[in-house]
Structure formats: structure tokens, C-alpha cells
Amino acid sequence: MQAWVIGNWKQNPATSHDVNALLDDLLTAIEATEQANSEVTARCQLMVAPSFIHLTAVSARLKGTSVLCAAQDISAHSASVGAYTGDCSAQQIADAGATWTILGHSERRQYHQESYDSLLQKVTHALMQDLGVVFCIGETQAQYDDQQTLEVIDSQLSVIKSLLAQQQELIDSLSTRLIIAYEPVWAIGTGKVPTVAEVSATHQHIKQSVAGVAESLSAITVLYGGSVNADNADIFAADAMIDGALVGGASLKAESFLAIATAFSKGSI
């Protein structure tokens, strides 16, 4: 199965100049990696998600390369153009050249109070514009301590389940257009990680739960996210339930991003 390694650049880098420098490094590192081992990018799909402001430039530079470009969010009010200050619609995102979007990242849930309703709108609009969706779920530290991980995940996955119940015609396209990223909130940017056994069990639960709604989704891609770096990627990549990684901090350096991709390309054999 093909692995996926996705870089969530968040509100980085600070300037267009720095974005170009990161892309220069990334494309040079990919070329060097492909020359040394052409299997890496064949076995591991790479994607990066820059800020809205950099989306057009980044997607233009990535055209014709093996790296896909995603947005970090879309507007819940994507049905039409109009008076939604500060928002970017799914259509605008697709027009800017992105082919995927991250949705439901814990920082959006925390700082922008993203609700079940707004996420249902966002996922629906993304798919209507043919954007693939990387749907993020995960528990907080308190929920982890209270052993509520699976309950929290089931509740967050209800967005996807409702969508499928309402729009059966989406099921076929979802098998290639939906990725679930399991990201424990307490592991994001903290250097703390769950054990591989914990991640593996949670991923198994996610896969079974999604397959319970539609058998065609039984092979859904489930990524782990939270403090993945060049040093620990191997142990996650070795587990059959972990199909790749959503990477924050370590995606801002081409070298560590490519090291993670290399680990998952070996894990996918």
C-alpha cells in the first residue's frame, strides 16, 4: 500500500522569500532522494499544505513534480461567493491550484471553535469541488488520561458518517479522496508521542469504524500526526496500521521531511 507523508506548514514560513527557499530545498532534496532511491517517491506520496497566502505560488512551483499541494482549511460558507470576510471558499482553493485540503485540525477546532456543523459543511464543499480531504481527529491530554480516546474519535468521525448517510453517491469517490489523520492533541508540537501499540490500536478502530459505514472504505488511509520526526518515523512506519504521517514542525526542513518519507517508503513494502 502506498504511504502518505503530508507537511502541514501552519502559519509558516514568515515570508514569500522563505517559502521559496523551503521549496528550493525540498525540490533539491527530492531530486537527490530520487536519484539515490527512486522507490521513495514511488512508494510514498508527498504533500505540503502552505498558508492560503502562499497557495497559488506553491502549487504553481509544485506542478509537474511528485508533491501535491493542499490548503489547511476551507470556508464553511463555500456554496457561493459573498460576504464572508476572511474566508476562502473551496472553489477559490481549487482555483489556486490545491487538490486537497486539511480539515478539522485540532488548532482550528481549538482557536476557531470548529463545530460538527461547520465541519460537515466544509467536508461537503471540499468534495463537491473535487478536493481530497485530510480529516483530523484526536483526543486532548485530559481525554487521553481519562481513557476516552476511542469515544472522542467516534464522536469526531460522526461528521464523516453523517455525510455518507446523507450522500451515498460520495462513497466511491471517498475511497481515494478521504484520508483520516489521527493526531492526539497532546502530541502535537510537544515532543511527546503515544506508543506505537496505542496508535496502532486506535488506527485499527478508525479503519473498522469507517468500514462499518461503507465496506468500500475498508482500505482507508489513516495517518498518525504528533511530533513525528526523522528519529522516530521508523518505528511508526514499521506498523502495518499506520499508513503515513501528518507532520508539522519537521516538515519545515526538507531534510527531516524527506527522512520521514524515506522511513514510510520502507515501511510500505
Residue type, 23: L
Count CB-CB contacts under 10 A for residue 257. 27
105 is known as an active-site residue: yes
Non-local (6+) Cβ contacts of 206 within 8 A are 137, 153, 157, 180, 182, 220, 222
Active-site pick, 105, 125, 203, 205? 105
Interatomic CA distance for residues 125 and 244, integer angstroms: 25
* Least distance to ligand PEP, CB of residue 183, Å: 5
Of residues 90 and 228, the one with the C-beta less far from ligand PEP: 228
Number of residue whose CB is nearest ligand PEP = 248
**Cβ 26 vs Cβ 50: under 8 Å:** no
* Least distance to ligand PEP, CB of residue 250, Å: 6
Q: Which of 99, 227, 256, 265 binds ligand PEP (CB under 6 A)?
A: 227
Residues constituting the chain = 269
Of residues 114 and 164, the one with the C-beta less far from ligand PEP: 114
* Least distance to ligand PEP, CB of residue 167, Å: 27
Range in contact with ligand PEP (rule: CB under 6 A) among 22-30, 72-80, 241-249, 255-263: 241-249
Site for ligand PEP in 103-122 (CB under 6 A): none
Active-site pick, 107, 114, 183, 205? 183
Interatomic CA distance for residues 159 and 209, integer angstroms: 13
77 is known as an active-site residue: no
Interatomic CA distance for residues 196 and 153, integer angstroms: 17
Q: Is 246 in the site for ligand PEP (CB under 6 A)?
A: yes
Buried b (16+ CB within 10 A) or exposed e, 223-240: bbbbbbbbebbebbbeee
Non-local (6+) Cβ contacts of 215 within 8 A are none
Site for ligand PEP in 171-200 (CB under 6 A): 183, 188-189
Interacting residues toward ligand PEP by CB under 6 A: 8, 183, 188-189, 225-228, 246-250
Catalytic residue positions?
A: 105, 183
